[in-house]
Structure 1
């Protein structure tokens, strides 16, 4: 009887060991084309009726960076603030349009959303070119989603 009870407990505990992708975030990867960005870059999410949220703080000499994406919005608006060595700040706005799809792992796992990028555009003077390279944003952190080129003054 004891062996049967012990075997049942082991079987139940083994079934509840779910491999949830807790450390795997859904992030869009940006790859800098051309020269490395020489100025200090801070990127904030512009949120309507809420304060902005800093996503990337004071990055220098960057060739690539990753940013999280919102779950519910059809587009993410980002403020790219460039600060030169002389202390001059320039701000561009980048809008990433997307569709979001819920991704189900298990009832024991937190919700996740995968995204399909549909358009990307920039307003301002420092982002000279921005385009989608791979529209599918999921757990795969090796994908190059957005190619971006900066104008260095």
Structure 2
């Protein structure tokens, strides 16, 4: 065999190995299995009459500006809010605005235990949560109860039952 044929064969083998290695590398670097696409959210279900006022919910964060999580919802029957990764409590500001423009503010506080969840070394850290207590201060949140305390990737769970007073 001459040198030119050996070089050509080695070149083809190198190209095949490079192609197959690239395919393996590209298929292993996918976030499909990572929690980046699967958030950890608590699901609220409104019990009793639907809330007819406009509802805006913000996360109250220590030494940081508040973050709007739910903006100007009307006729709300259910909604979902993200959980903080590792705080012991999550505090939310519920702002109710009536059709007449009257604003009322309540605060809902959720106490929780954080459970680290490992998916893969390629994935970012994730926490699941066990809700331990919930309370509300103000006049519009009439009752708030934990229905299912285990918050994870399952978006079908109804974690919190909440009812409102309509003025």
**Do they fold alike, i.e. is TM over 0.5?**
yes
Larger radius of gyration: 2
User: Any idea what SS the aligned residue of 1:22 has?
Assistant: helix
Corresponding residue for residue 127 of structure 1: 141
Corresponding residue for residue 96 of structure 1: 110
- For the pair 1:56 / 2:65, whether they are aligned, the reply is no
How far has the Cα of 1:111 moved from its partner?
1.5
Gaps of 5+ in 2: 1-9
Per-residue displacement from partner, 1:6-54 (whole Å, max 9, x unpaired)? 6862684377255223221000000000111000000111112111111
How far has the Cα of 1:71 moved from its partner?
1.1
Specify whether residues 53 and 7 from structure 1 end up closer, same or farther in structure 2 by C-alpha distance, changes over 3 A only: closer
Q: TM-score, normalised by structure 2?
A: 0.84
Per-residue displacement from partner, 1:53-111 (whole Å, max 9, x unpaired)? 11111010010000001112100111101000000000111000001111111111122
Corresponding residue for residue 17 of structure 2: 5
For 2:59 and 2:121, the matched residues in 1 are separated by 30
Native 8 Å contact 2:86 2:127 kept in 1: no
Corresponding residue for residue 21 of structure 1: 35
Specify whether residues 15 and 85 from structure 1 end up closer, same or farther in structure 2 by C-alpha distance, changes over 3 A only: closer
Q: How many residues were matched structurally?
A: 153
